[in-house]
Each structure stands twice: as structure tokens, then as C-alpha cells.
A and B are shown apart, each in its own frame.
Chain A
Amino acid sequence: MELEKRILRLIENDAQLNPKTIATMLGEDEQKVVAIIKRLEREKYILGYNTIINWERLGDDGVTAMIDVKVTPEREVGFNNVAERICRFPEVSCVYLMSGTYDLSVIVSGDNMKDISWFVSHKLSTLDHVQSTTTHFILKRYKQENFVFEEPEQDKRLVVSP
């Protein structure tokens, strides 16, 4: 598992690293690295690859909200049934079970605020076992998945030094 973890740590923040580079950096055979990544994908240790995009810079004014959801847990399955139902909505990008004053944290995106309020009032709060919701709109993104949105880090070193 050690090698698998080392491969995963390398591609965690750079999904585009190619297998040849990874193999060289780890002193391993390229075919072996390809096979491991394929297997990790097949066995769903790697769930997929995303791209972090600064949509706002492209003038796109989509809206994202984080919604706190209080849920009445069900016998035997606890929060799982409700959480899984919420996951099925394509506009939902994240669902987490939380400790503290509410139970589920749901992240939803839409074209505008109306989309989101419609989703909350018609879809989310009407689900069985959902007691209440609190919606927080995201106003500005500073950092996401390790990437800083404004002023990306630059190399500040002198170009040549002893």
C-alpha cells in the first residue's frame, strides 16, 4: 500500500502528472504505475478528477450556497437515507454529516439565487425527515482545494544565486 499512497499523494494536487513522470520520480516502472492507477480507479479509491476553475474571472455569475440541514434520524439507518437522497440531485456538489447544531451540510450550485431558493423550498425542505434548513450564499472564493483564487503564488526567488 505504501507505493499506492505515494502515487496518490503525488496526484492529489496535480491530476495531470503523467505516469512516466510519476514512475521516474518514484524510481518505479511506468507500466506498474499505470496499472496501479487503473486499479485504484477501478476499485474507486480514485473517484474521479476535477478541474478548479475561476468562473468568476470569466464573467460567469453562478451562485453557490452552503445549506445547514437538520434531520430527524431514522431507526437503523440514521442519516444515511436522507443524505443519499440529497446526493442524487445533480445541483448538489457536496453532502457532509456534521457534528454540532445541525446534521447535514449541503453545497448547491445554480445559475442564480432563484434557482437555489427553488431547490431549497421545493426539493430539500420537503423531503421526509428534514426538519429545517439554513442557507448561506457564498459571496467570494479565496481558496479552494489548495488553490488560491487571487494573486496565485509566484516564484519570488532571485533567478540565480550561489
Chain B
Amino acid sequence: MNSKVNMNQYVSKVVRDIPPSGIRKFFDLVTQTEGVISLGVGEPDFVTPWHIREACFYSLEKGYTMYTSNLGLPELREEIAAYESRKIGVNYSPEDEILVTVGVSEAVDLALRALVEPGDEVLVPEPSYVSYSPGTTLVHGKPVSLMTYDADEYRLRPDILEAALTPRSKVLILPYPTNPTGGIMKHDDLKALVDIIIKHDLIVLSDEIYSELTYEGEHVSIASFPGMRDRTIVFNGFSKSFAMTGWRIGYACGHPEIINAMNKIHQYTIMCAPIMAQKAAIEALRHGEGEMKKMVENYNYRRKLMLAGFKEIGLSCFEPRGAFYCFPSITSSGMNSEDFCEQLLKEEQVAVVPGNAFGNCGEGYIRCCYAASVGNIEEAIDKMGQFLCRHRKG
């Protein structure tokens, strides 16, 4: 074909119309810079604990290299059922209420595809993880942003949910603890949403991938409230809690008819999650909780370090109680998020992510990940301090 032909015209409109990822743009910029200290990552700085890696080698040696059932290995589903039961106090049957997926990413996509009719509205709290809105658009649904605010510690307020409801509202995403803010929803915060959810007959996609990384009190799942179990799909995975991002393994738990619908898509598109990752996940759930708790303790130390550092250099930041991010306001610099990040990278070789990559209401903020070494956190904050001194207004 002639190279002058505009090949973009062949790309479907729905894909063409998805805006380029703000993170991707910034990534290209960072990779062109040398000697960067990065607080821009979205994954643990731990390598997967050795016993989990070793269990995977062993399974390969034993010849576990084949497909598994679409839902995932029965032993893994049993471990997941036991784990969720002790963690959130909700019982799921390993037979037909748990689906093992290629990361929570796949699980969220499956759920949106299984639930959303063209024109249905999917309510997405913002700022939040980048894939919910494009995932909705791809199935011809309509993403509706629910603003959350620094002053509310990024909890979803019932009045904001209620104000956004229309007859087409169908799915509510609850991504707590939240990437990028570290905000969590406590028991009472969730309770305030339950009546509205039931009254308006919403289905909840509860992305609990950061739930193990909750630093004060215990994580509470919306699925544990009366009347909520069957209208909630709980997602969790191994990426963050067990430092297993590259393994691509996660799962969804929910009502058998919804899990079955998701599995219909999964069986034709993916077949099954890789058996090596499933074997490793079994090891993680059977013997990994001790090491996981140590990692969580370690994140907590660094959370406090980063927060104190921001305070010292005069960046205001609410106290995040989950995940591994701080989300300070940078308005005192007089710059917008993107300019701030670009200048900081240029002048100080520190990479952080502009808040607006997670939705418009992230403008004026930056995401800083504290899954970094103590030395790097301290050095990055020093450099940000010098940067602010030079640029602060007045």
C-alpha cells in the first residue's frame, strides 16, 4: 500500500477517539533523560519473594506447562475463596463464583464487557486508575466522572454519587484504596453509599488490588454489607500485595451468573491465565502472607518519610492511608501539573506523574510513589525542595 495512505482511517472510530495516555507521553520524556530518580512508578520495588519464584520453577520442572480450566486451577480458586473469606468476610464458592484472570486489568475489562450495553453509564470516581474510562468507551458505554476531593480525603461522597445518577446509570466503580491518591473508604463511608446503590439498582465493580496495603485499620469491602454481595464484583490480584506485577495474575469474585458471563468472554479471548503464574499464586496464598506483611510494614515507614518530607518543603498533602502513593498539591508553584512534572524532570531529574493523567480533577496535583529506596525518597524530596524554592510564587 502507498505510504501516503492515511492508515488511521482504518482504525475503528471508538479506538481512534480514545485520547492518548497522559502517562505514556510522560514516559517517553523520562526515558530520554539520564540519571533520573523516579517516583513515577506504579509497582512495588520488591522483587517477588523468592519462595514464590521457586514454586514456579518447581512447577515447570514437574511439567506444568499446559492450559488450565477456563476458571483457573481448582486449588487456586480454593485458596482464593479461603483468602477472601478471612480477609473481607465474604464467602465465594470456588466452583462457580471465582474467575482467575490475566491481572485485574483483564478482570475489569471482562466485567465491563459482560455488563455494559451501548449507552449505559459507568460511574468512575476521579482521580483514579487509568483504565476504567477507556474500558467503558470500548464497549460503547459512557464513562461518567464522579469528582472526589482533597478536602474529603478522596472519599466518594454520597451526594456526588446521587447527583450523577440517571436512568442509564448501571455500574459503579469503587477503586479503594485508590491509585493515584492513596485514599481509602472506611466502613461508615461505604455504608453511606449502600442505600443509594441498592435503590438505584447499580452493580459495583470493587477494585481491591491495593486492599492489603491499608495502613490504618482494616480494609472493608462493600461486598460485606447486607444486600451487596450479589451486586458486587470483587477484584483482587497479586501484582501489588505480593509484588507480582509481571506475572499478570488476578481474579474476580461475584455472583455465579455474572462470573459465568465473564468467563464466556474469557474462554474465547484468553482461555486461561498462564499456569506458571497460577502455580506461583497458589504458593503466595499458602505461604506468602508473612512476607507480604513485612513489605506492607516497609511501605508504611516510607509513607511516613515521604509525608514528612513534603511537609518540610511546604507541599501540602493529605495523609494517604492506602496503596503506595502520595498526591500532593503543587498549586503553590504556580504551574499546572504537566509543566511542573516536565520542569522538575528537566531541572532536577526527578520523575513524578502529573495528576491530570488520572482525570481532570487531578490537575494541580502530582503522584509520587514511595515504593522507592529511602535514599532515593530523601534525595528526590531535597531536589523538589530546591525546585520549589526557585519557582514558588511571591
Question: Which residues of A pack against B, CB within 8 Å?
Answer: 10, 14, 17, 21, 24-27, 153, 155, 157-162
Beta-carbon contact of A160 and B30 below 8 Å: yes
A-B Cβ contacts below 8 A, count = 57
CA distance A26 to B351 in the complex (A): 26
Beta-carbon contact of B308 and A24 below 8 Å: yes
Beta-carbon contact of A161 and B305 below 8 Å: no
Beta-carbon contact of B23 and A160 below 8 Å: yes
Contact residues of A: prevailing secondary structure: loop
Beta-carbon contact of A161 and B304 below 8 Å: no
- B30-64 vs A, CB cutoff 8 Å, 1 = contact: the mask equals 11000010101111010100000000000000000
Beta-carbon contact of B27 and A21 below 8 Å: no
Number of interface residues of B (CB under 8 A): 29
- Looking at the assembled complex, report how far the CB atom of B238 sits from the nearest CB atom of chain A, in whole angstroms: 16
Beta-carbon contact of B304 and A24 below 8 Å: yes
Beta-carbon contact of A158 and B304 below 8 Å: no
Q: Which of B302, B351, B357 makes the CB contact (< 8 A) with A159?
A: B351
- Looking at the assembled complex, report how far the CB atom of B211 sits from the nearest CB atom of chain A, in whole angstroms: 18
- B293-309 vs A, CB cutoff 8 Å, 1 = contact: the mask equals 00000000110110011
- Check: B149 CB closer than 8 A to any chain A CB: no
Beta-carbon contact of A25 and B27 below 8 Å: no
- B380-392 vs A, CB cutoff 8 Å, 1 = contact: the mask equals 0000000000000
- Check: B129 CB closer than 8 A to any chain A CB: yes
- Check: B252 CB closer than 8 A to any chain A CB: no
| 12 A-B contacts (beta carbon < 8 Å) | A17-B374, A24-B309, A159-B27, A159-B40, A159-B351, A160-B353, A161-B27, A162-B21, A162-B23, A162-B42, A162-B131, A162-B357
CA distance A57 to B353 in the complex (A): 39
CA distance A47 to B353 in the complex (A): 43
Set of chain A residues within 8 Å of B38, measured between Cβ atoms: 157, 159-160
CA distance A14 to B27 in the complex (A): 32
